[in-house]
Amino acid sequence: MTVTLALTTSAADPEWEEAYEGLAFSAFALATQADDPELGKLATEVRGLLGDWEQVEGDRRRARADAIAARAHVAVADAALDLALTRIAEAILAETSGSREHGLYRRFFPEPHERVIALGLDAELPIAAAAMAQLDEGEAVPDALKAYVETLRRCLAMGNASLGARAECYANLGRLESRVEAWLETADATTRNVHGDLTRIADERGLPYHWVASFFSR
């Protein structure tokens, strides 16, 4: 059984989009005064920060897509392992006339196999690995079970690989979260600095505050 994990970063928060839109508004407004050296310098500064946003946003989308793909791989690996363990349990029960107390069944499934299959892939893999060890003994298991050796081996490899990929994807999302927070902090500081510079310019040129406010969306 696969447990679905939510994919969340602060990049999904409205603050992320609002910060971008606010800076984009300022960049376009400042660009209308590109022939003014002081305002042109501010426009360049803001455009650079917008470029950083676009880089983070592109990485965010790719990271989320990778994480969704990893979840899908885990789901498929989990289903494949569930099926393999079910087939092994059925083969064992056929050998033991349906007895779950028989030593052969207990060697593979210390608890009912239905409970094992209901576990998430993370918890199911160690039990499957122990079953693999039993199958690898060869002569110690009935021939009917030997047919599942390669199937279970492939399922174990698939399961471990998919969990490893998912862990890496979620680590990437965590690192991305830090980049998002850093950008938001820089964007806030830049907005305040630009506002301060425009206020100074307005004072020096005798311009009303309405002129300063026109460069900001809010």
- For residue range 114-161, what is the model confidence (pLDDT) as tens digits? 999 999 999 999 999 999 998 987 667 888 898 999 999 999 999 999
DSSP 204: H
Average pLDDT, the chain: 91
Residues of the chain by 3-state class (helix, strand, coil), percent to 5: 80, 0, 20
Amino acid at 27: A
pLDDT band for position 17 (50/70/90)? very high
Pair of tokens at residue 153: 């081996």
Sequence-distant contacts of 18-25: CB under 8 A, at least 24 apart = 19/53, 19/183, 19/184, 19/187, 19/188, 20/50, 20/53, 20/57, 21/217, 22/187, 22/191, 22/216, 22/217, 22/218, 23/49, 23/50, 23/53, 23/187, 23/190, 23/191, 24/50, 25/216, 25/217
- Whole-model pTM: value is 0.78
Distance CA 52, CA 50 (A): 5
Six-digit token string for 147: 């047919």
Q: What is the pLDDT of residue 215?
A: 97
How far apart, in whole angstroms, are the C-alpha atoms of residue 123 and residue 119?
6
| Residue 11: band (very low, low, confident or very high) from pLDDT cuts 50, 70, 90 | very low
Tokens coding 51 = 């470029």
pLDDT confidence of residue 4: 41
Residue range 173-209, pLDDT digits in tens: 999 999 999 999 999 999 999 999 999 999 999 999 9
pLDDT of residue 139: 67
